C-alpha cells in the first residue's frame, strides 16, 4: 500500500510540474482598464456644496408622497422581477463556486452475470472527484460570477432609484395637471361671464354680432380644452397607479400645489457619484468580471488535473457488504491538455478579451455620461430659476392688462378682439408659470438620479426610503 502511494505521489508531482511548465507556451493576456477616467475637483456649474436638508421636496403634503413611494417599492412588479434576477445571479455564483469543490457521492450497486455459472455482485461505497485549481482558473470563474451577482444588485438599486424618481415625477405631473385644469376652468368661467355680458349687450343693441360670435367661439374652444385636460389627467393618473402596482382605475387624487421655491442644491464633488450611482458601480463590476473571464479563458488553454477515486466494499453476498475484508479503494490522477481544437480555445480567449475591451469603453462612457447629466441638471437649475422669475413678472403684467382691456372694452375704448388677445396672453402666461414650476421639479428629480441618490440628510427629518 505504501509503495503504491509513493509511486502515485511521484506521478502527481510530475503532472504538476508539466502543468506549470506548459504555461510558458501561451502569452498571458493584458488586463483591460481598471480605473475610471479623470475628473475635475468640482463641477463647472455653480452650486451649494455644503449639506442641506435631506428633504429636497418643498411639498405641503410630503408624507402622502412618501407613503406612495413606499407602496410602489412594495408592489411594483418590474421591481419584483429585478429582485428575482438578483436571486438568479446569486444562485449562479454558487453554481460557479461549486466547480472548485470536492464532488462526493454514495453508491449502492447490485447485479448478476454469468454464462455457465451465475454470480451475484454487490458494492457499497463513495465516489469522489476533484479538479485541482493549480492555475486559479476555477477561482477566476467563481470571482467573475460573484461580480455578476453584484451587477444584478446594482441593477436592482438602479431600478429602485428610477422607480422612486418615476413616482415623484409623476406626482408633480399630476399636480400640474390639476392646477392647469383649475386654471382652464377659471378661464372658462370668465369667458362664460363675458359671454353673458356680451349677449345682454347684443340684445340691447350695444354689442355687435362679431363680438358675440367671437365670445361664443372662445368659450367653446376653452370648454374643449377642459375636456382634453381631464382626459390627460386620467391618463397620467393611470400611469401613476401602474407605477404603484395598483389596478389603473383613476381613483388616485394628488393633493397639494406646485412649489415656487426650493432648497439649494448640495451636489457635492464629481468623485462622489463614482461610489453612489448604481449604473457606474454595475459598469465597474462588469469590467472586473470581464477581466476575470479573460484570465479564465487564458488558463483554459493549460492542462487540467483531476483526481478521482472511490472507497467501499464489494462482495457476492449482500449481507457481507459491511465486512471489513471486502473493502476496496481506487485513486486516479488524470491530466488533460488541449492539443488540436481548431483554434477554439484561442478564439474564446480573444472573444473574452474583446468583451473586456468593450466593458472598459462602456465603463468610461457611463462615467462621462453621468458627469454630463449632473452638469446639465445644474445648469438647467440656474436657467429655469431665471425663466421662472421672468415668467412670473410676465404673468402679473398680463393679468393686469387683461383686467384693463375688459374695463376699456366696456367703456367703448377698445374692441373685443383686444380683450380676447389680452385674455389669451394672461392665460398662456399663467399656464407657462405652472409648467415652469413642474419643470424645475422634474429637473431636480433628474439631478437626484444623476447624483445616484438623495441629498445629505438632516437628523430628525423624514427621508426617502434609503437604498442599502
pLDDT, averaged per 10 consecutive residues of the chain (468 residues), comes to 49 49 54 64 60 51 83 92 91 85 79 71 78 83 90 92 91 92 90 84 80 86 92 94 92 82 66 81 92 89 83 66 66 75 85 90 91 88 89 91 84 81 88 92 88 59 42
**Is 148 among the domain residues?**
yes
- CATH code for the domain of 196: 1.20.1600.10
Is residue 39 in some structural domain? yes
- Kindly state whether residue 156 falls inside one of the protein's structural domains: yes
Please identify which residue in the block is written with the cell numbers 447629466. Answer: 373
- Asked if residue 11 belongs to a domain, the reply is yes
Alpha-carbon dihedral angle through residues 75, 77, 82, 86, given to the nearest 10 degrees: 60
Residue 33 has a pLDDT of 62
In the prediction, which pLDDT does 282 show?
93
Domain count, the chain: 1
Task: With respect to residue 223, please indicate whether it lies within any of the assigned structural domains.
Answer: yes
Please answer whether residues 88 and 152 qualify as being in contact, where contact means their C-beta atoms are separated by less than 8 angstroms: yes
pLDDT at 59: 60
What per-residue confidence (pLDDT) applies to 457?
46
Judge whether 67 lies within some domain.
yes
User: How many Å apart are CA 361 and CA 58, to the nearest integer?
Assistant: 39
Q: What are the strands of the beta sheet with 304-315, ordered from one edge?
A: 103-114, 118-132, 304-315, 327-336
Residue 468 lies in a domain: no
The answer as to whether 128 is a domain residue is no
For 429, list phi and psi in degrees, rounded to 5: -65, -45
Closest CA to 262 of 370, 162, 382, 181: 382
Cβ–Cβ contacts within 10 Å for residue 229, how many?
A: 18
Cα distances from 136 to residues 121, 139, 151, 227, 340, in angstroms, run 42, 5, 22, 69, 23
Give me the residue label for grid cell 479563458. 297
Q: Residues 271-316: pLDDT tens digits?
A: 677 778 899 999 999 999 999 999 888 888 888 888 888 876 767 6
Full domain range(s) for residue 255 = 2-101+136-305+347-450
pLDDT of residue 138: 85
Amino acid at each position: 500500500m505504501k509503495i503504491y502511494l509513493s509511486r502515485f505521489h511521484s506521478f502527481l508531482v510530475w503532472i504538476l510540474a508539466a502543468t506549470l511548465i506548459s504555461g510558458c507556451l501561451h502569452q498571458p493576456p493584458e488586463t483591460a482598464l481598471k480605473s475610471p477616467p479623470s475628473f475635475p475637483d468640482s463641477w463647472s456649474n455653480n452650486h451649494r456644496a455644503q449639506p442641506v436638508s435631506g428633504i429636497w421636496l418643498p411639498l405641503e403634503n410630503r408624507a402622502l408622497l412618501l407613503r406612495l413611494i413606499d407602496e410602489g417599492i412594495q408592489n411594483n412588479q418590474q421591481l419584483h422581477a429585478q429582485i428575482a434576477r438578483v436571486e438568479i445571479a446569486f444562485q449562479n455564483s454558487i453554481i460557479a463556486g461549486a466547480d472548485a469543490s470536492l464532488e462526493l457521492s454514495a453508491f449502492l450497486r447490485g447485479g448478476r452475470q454469468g454464462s455457465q455459472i451465475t454470480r451475484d455482485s454487490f458494492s457499497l461505497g463513495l465516489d469522489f472527484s476533484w479538479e485541482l485549481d493549480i492555475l486559479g482558473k476555477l477561482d477566476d470563474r467563481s470571482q467573475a460570477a460573484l461580480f455578476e451577482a453584484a451587477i444584478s444588485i446594482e441593477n436592482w438599486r438602479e431600478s429602485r432609484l428610477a422607480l422612486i424618481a418615476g413616482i415623484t415625477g409623476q406626482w408633480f405631473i399630476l399636480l400640474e395637471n390639476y392646477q392647469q385644469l383649475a386654471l382652464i376652468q377659471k378661464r372658462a368661467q370668465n369667458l362664460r361671464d363675458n359671454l353673458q355680458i356680451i349677449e345682454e349687450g347684443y340684445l340691447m343693441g350695444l354689442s355687435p354680432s362679431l363680438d358675440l360670435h367671437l365670445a361664443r367661439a372662445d368659450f367653446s374652444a376653452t370648454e374643449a380644452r377642459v375636456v382634453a385636460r381631464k382626459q390627460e389627467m386620467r391618463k397620467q393618473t393611470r400611469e401613476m397607479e401602474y407605477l404603484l402596482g395598483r389596478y389603473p382605475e383613476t381613483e388616485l387624487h394628488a393633493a397639494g400645489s406646485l412649489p415656487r421655491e426650493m432648497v439649494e442644491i448640495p451636489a457635492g464633488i464629481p468623485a462622489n457619484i463614482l461610489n453612489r450611482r448604481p449604473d457606474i458601480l454595475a459598469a465597474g463590476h462588469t469590467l472586473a468580471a470581464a477581466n476575470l473571464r479573460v484570465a479564465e479563458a487564458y488558463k483554459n488553454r493549460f492542462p487540467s488535473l483531476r483526481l478521482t477515486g472511490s472507497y467501499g466494499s464489494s462482495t457476492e453476498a449482500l449481507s457481507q457488504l459491511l465486512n471489513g475484508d471486502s473493502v476496496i479503494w481506487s485513486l486516479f490522477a488524470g491530466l488533460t491538455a488541449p492539443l488540436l481544437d481548431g483554434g477554439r480555445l484561442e478564439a474564446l480567449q480573444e472573444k473574452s478579451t474583446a468583451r473586456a475591451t468593450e466593458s472598459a469603453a462602456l465603463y468610461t462612457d457611463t462615467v462621462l455620461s453621468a458627469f454630463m447629466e449632473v452638469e446639465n441638471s445644474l445648469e438647467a437649475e440656474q436657467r429655469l430659476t431665471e425663466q421662472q422669475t421672468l415668467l412670473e413678472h410676465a404673468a402679473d403684467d398680463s393679468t393686469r392688462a387683461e383686467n384693463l382691456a375688459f374695463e376699456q372694452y366696456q367703456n367703448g375704448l377698445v374692441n373685443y378682439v383686444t380683450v380676447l388677445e389680452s385674455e389669451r396672453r394672461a392665460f398662456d402666461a399663467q399656464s407657462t408659470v405652472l409648467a415652469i414650476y413642474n419643470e424645475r421639479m422634474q429637473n431636480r428629480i433628474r439631478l437626484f438620479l444623476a447624483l445616484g441618490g438623495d441629498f445629505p440628510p438632516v437628523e430628525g427629518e423624514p427621508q426617502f426610503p434609503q437604498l442599502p
